[in-house]
Amino acid sequence: MNRAFLFIIGIFCVYTIIPTLVVRLFGIGVYKKGTAGRGIALTFDDGPDPQYTPLLLDLLKQHKIRATFFVLGSKAEKYPKLIARMHEEGHLVGLHNYVHWANALMTPQKVRLQLNHSVNVIESIIGEKPVYYRPPWGIINVFDFLLMKRFRVILWSIIVGDWRSYGGKRRIKRKLLSKLGDGAIIVLHDSGQTLGANHDAPTFMLEALHEFIVKTLSKGYSFLRVDERMSLDERFDYVKLSMKKRIFVYLWFKWDKLFHVLFGVKPVDPENPLLFYRVRPYHGKTILLSDGEKIVSGDRVIELHFNNEMLFRMAIGSHSIVHLAVQIIRSVKEVLPHTVKISNDVHYSNIKAIYGITMIHRGANQLGFTLTNLPRGWFSYVTSLYLKVLLYTIHPKGKTRLKVKSDALTPKVLAISIQELKKRHLNGLMKT
């Protein structure tokens, strides 16, 4: 490999690979997920399309949902009535370049010319200058950081490959529901004309989207435009994390996912992955439960684990640890019925109870759990240290919170017998 080739690779890394990794991994200078409240944002790229965009607008109107469209300037020029309709029906119109080229393959001047042309086209149609911008494929070059003074760069937290037809609507819907979480920014595509896309792919996207919207609304989520989603976050100034904590949070969540893989931890409800579980023998002192059952060493239990990324999203939208606890109780109550389904599995017929350890346990007894102190010893010490690091991670004022009433930050064992679980939560399973 000669020096000239290495030099070209190095330049390309500096020009686009490193900047793209910086914004994709750490979110520097871009917006990719909401941090306060449950509202989620639907965004659509690559349009407008004369066949599919009208159907999409009809669907959004049917459900009284406002969304965000990142349009191509060349298509806006060709189909101005669709852009006008988007604006008139309350949707946000943003930019997606003039044509669908990656910024990595263009000079800084070419990128600016594309954007300026697109801004002029859209402003001439709706009377407003678009300021929200999503670069194609989420790829930027190093000079695009200068654009951030003029545009709000929007990426995403959920992408499901809806530009492909394989798997039909079922694949798209399953992926959307499995990845859904508070503050999600979802990217979908209302055109199949982009390089690498299937022409009929939006047909399946629209079918999946209709069913996804119905299911998501039933779970208590709301839909917001990107600017509304950002405005909601800005009301919570304290959620603006330092770079140090942002990196720490990112690494922690990566460790979380690795833990799930290493120990075979699975979601209780794939469509609402707040709780994860694994089945294992219980090791510890005997626990006397409120209904008279006992858990003794060797009993098989369902061990529960929180989805710490979802906890983080809840926490940074919470005013206090009490508010966070209320949200957790409400959310856990939605998921618990699915543990009944797990306990009914023939492979798990000898499970005695559900078991977990947490420091956020306020109100757990309302759900039927028995709370006991973790026996003192090295395991208690390590668990307490781990959970304090977790609290630092998920709580926006984690460092301060660890200093306030630190004596109250004691891990508790939560447990409920299978019989009590079915008694309290079987009806919730039937409703789902």
Query: Could you give the residue numbers annotated as active site?
Result: 45, 189
Tell me the longest C-alpha to C-alpha distance in the chain: 76
Three-class secondary structure assignment of the chain: CCHHHHHHHHHHHHHHHHHHHHHHHHCCCEECCCCCCCCEEEEEECCCCCCCHHHHHHHHHHCCCCCEEEECHHHHHHCHHHHHHHHHCCCEEEECCCCCCCHHHCCHHHHHHHHHHHHHHHHHHHCCCCCEECCHHHCCCHHHHHHHHCCEEECCCEECCCCCCCCHHHHHHHHHHHHCCCCCEEEEECCCCCCCCCCCHHHHHHHHHHHHHHHHHHCCCCEECHHHHHHHHHCCHHHCCCHHHHHHHHHHHHHHHHHHHHCCCEECCCCCCCEEEEEEECCCCCEECCCCCEECCCCEEEEEEECHHHHHHHHCCCCCHHHHHHHHHHHHHHHCHHHHHHHCCHHHCCEEEEEEEECCCCCHHHHCCEEEECCCCHHHHHHHHHHHHHHHHHCCCHHHHHHCCHHHCCCEEEEEEHHHHHHHHHHHHHHC
Contact between 328 and 381 (Cβ < 8 Å): no
- CB of 231 within 8 A of CB of 34? no
Work out the angle at residue 304's Cα, subtended by the Cα atoms of residues 300 and 309, and round it to the nearest 5 degrees.
160
CA dihedral over 96, 98, 100, 105, signed as positive or negative: negative
Q: How far apart, in whole angstroms, are the C-alpha atoms of residue 278 and residue 301?
A: 8
- 32 vs 17: CA distance, rounded Å: 18
Residue showing tokens 């809806």 = 162
Q: What angle do CA 113, 119, 123 make, to 5 degrees?
A: 150
